[in-house]
Structure 1
Amino acid sequence: MQEHSWAPRVSKTFAKQHYTCRTYDFPKHIVEQRQKTVLRQFQQTTNQLQHYTMELEQTGGLKKWKLPFDSAILSNAINECVKNAQQRLRKEFDYKKKMLSLNSSDHHFIRKFYDLKPNEEQIHLAKMIWKTTADELKTIEYIEILRKRIFLQRLPSRIDKIINQTIEPIELLLSNSTINKDQRASLISSCSKTITQYKFDLMSLNLNIMENIKRDHQQSLKDLQLKLIISNHDETSIEVIKAGQIAMRKRHHPCRLFFINCAAVTRRANSASQLRVL
């Protein structure tokens, strides 16, 4: 971790006003202590493995198994098992490390802006630009979620539950014994297609609305940036404000947890379908 990543903490109010994050790593001395502990534990485990291997070779325990044995192969196999088991954990770690660095960079530009001693108007414009940028990024994130949901044909659970409740009376009607088997099958199929299409149309409508909101945010940003230019701001403060925007966009990481959850939901749904088939 680079030295600048241990950035000074900012208050919750400050973070909210400047549309930044308050994610922090542990203090540097704690991280260094933990690294030493992990290295020591790793060395102890390696030594124990070597000790047990030598003990087996010396006592002739391997001959009883009547199997070829190579300690290097065993060691490599253990390392590969650990590496595979920790793959997701490593990705999570790399993600958090990257976000800590980006958050630190974000805070750096905010501090740099205030070091220029801006007046109230400049501060207001900077906050408005950062706010609109944050709103635009949230909208983009929501749009990506909607597109993913449309692809998976999955509404948010709350909305899906409401829609499913509205079709309960129809299901009750379809269970009427006076309807013959073929008609019931046809009506159920028609009902299912209608509900599916309705859900798709609802998601498409949401997507269209959010696309319009995104365009509004982008237009607002253009207007604010023009106002910033014509308000006699010095070039340095303008560059710092823009750099803050760039840092916000780099920090933006849309839909990550949602995609993980969607994958899990899809796997469960596929498993359930397979069970029903069986």
Structure 2
Amino acid sequence: LGLKQSEWAPRVSKSFAKKHHTCRTYGFSKHIIEQRLQTIMKQFQRTINELQQNISQLEHNAQEWQPYIDPAILCNAINACVQSAQQRLRQEFDYKKKMLVLDSNDRNLIRKFYDLEPNDEQVQLAIQVWHMTENMLKATAQEEVLRKRIFLRRLPSVYDKLINQSMDFVEPMLANEVLDRDRRASLVSNYSKTITQYKFDLMTLNLDTIQNIIRGHQQLLTDYQNKLSKCCDEILFQAIENRRQAMGKRHELYIKHKLNTFFDEAPATINE
């Protein structure tokens, strides 16, 4: 981004980044990027040379194989396997590139706001608007993740560990010798179903709580925006709104990526 657009944003202080809910930096300095590019180009050329040598060796060895295998078919199969294995890596790389652009844009929008020379009251109201927006987006992310957990029946490990501890008090009773095998199996199944249902009932209640929190943030955001409209001219108000909308776009990309990758290895809850 810096090499293409000649934009090299300096680092900001931790307090500034925290106060404005932005990243501290969205990249590295120019000389580090240039050094890294030179290293990558050398590595890339070395890899190409090694690949050409391996292809030549493969074509030579293929002439002696029985039965004969067309080297072109074998190379295509290898390429397909490599591309499939690198799919997640490419997705992660594309995501980081998009986030880099959005982070850069976010810093520029903050700078444009301060270029308009707002007074202290306007600055504080703008920060409150962005703060409420950030809180609302975080709560929305929690809501989306929780919805998908409920849909996929994949629970947070903390729920499993906490609630499953209740079985520690039940297992000695189930081990009582007066219970025959069939009755014990029936009781274990009933306990399992009850505990599983309780977990999801609790998650549903958490979802309702998060939705109430989102509505609360939305109301506070509306109140701050109304105050802004009374003390800011149209240009300044739009500058604040532009940054707020950019925060929303960044959140959309973030939550989409999170939902696509967060549950890949999450264990499913089995309802026996």
Counterparts of 1:212 and 1:224 in 2: how far apart (Å)? Answer: 19
Deviation at 1:157, TM superposition (A): 1.7
Partner of 1:236: 235
- 1:209 corresponds to which residue? 209
Uncovered stretches (5+) of structure 1, i.e. residues with no partner:
274-278
RMSD of aligned alpha carbons: 2.6
1:8-55 CA deviation, whole Å, 9 max, x = no partner? Answer: 221111011011122532223333333343333333333344356557
Post-superposition shift, 1:206? 0.5
Which deviations, in whole Å up to 9, do the C-alpha atoms of 1:75-121 show, x marking residues without a partner?
Answer: 55554443333221111111111111111111111111111111111
For 1:165-244, what aligned pairs fall within 5 Å after superposition? 165-231=165-231, 233-244=232-243
Distance, in Å, in 2 between the alignment partners of 1:36 and 1:87 is 25
C-alpha contact 1:141 1:255 (8 A) present in aligned 2: no
Q: For residue 8 of structure 1, give the secondary structure of its aligned residue in structure 2.
A: coil
2:248 corresponds in structure 1 to 249
Sort the Cα spacing of 1:177 and 1:41 in 2 relative to 1 into closer, same or farther, 3 A: same
Q: Which amino acid is the alignment partner of residue 8 of structure 2?
A: W
1:260 aligns with 2:261: yes
Distance 1:176 1:224 in 2: 63
Do the aligned partners of 1:15 and 1:22 also contact (CA within 8 Å) in 2?
A: yes
Give the Cα separation in 2 of the matches to 1:116 and 1:157.
Answer: 48
Aligned with 2:21 (options 19, 22, 32): 19
Which residue type is aligned with residue 237 of structure 2?
I
Which residue pairs with 1:30 in the alignment? 32
Q: Is the CA contact (8 Å cut-off) linking 1:150 and 1:200 kept in structure 2? A: yes
Correspondence for 1:99: 99
Kindly provide the CA deviation profile for residues 238-263 of structure 1, in whole angstroms up to 9, marking residues without a partner as x. Answer: 01100110111111112745753422
Q: Secondary structure at the match of 1:104?
A: helix
Q: Is the 8 A contact 1:145 1:258 kept in 2?
A: yes
Alignment of 1:267-278 (within 5 A): none
Q: State the secondary structure of the residue aligned to 1:263.
A: coil
> Which one is further off, 41-50 or 217-226?
41-50
Give TM-score scaled by structure 2 length.
Answer: 0.86
Gaps of 5+ in 2: none
Deviates more, 1:212-221 or 1:124-133: 212-221
Over 3 Å counting, the alpha-carbon distance change for 1:180 and 1:18 in structure 2 is same
Greater Cα shift, 181-190 or 74-83 = 74-83
Question: Number of matched residues?
Answer: 265
**TM-fit CA distance, 1:4:** 5.7
Contact 1:145–1:255 under 8 Å retained in 2? no
Mapped partners of 2:194, 2:229: distance in 1: 53
What is the Cα deviation at residue 166 of structure 1? 2.1
Q: Secondary structure at the match of 1:65?
A: coil
User: Mean Cα displacement is larger for which, 9-18 or 152-161?
Assistant: 152-161
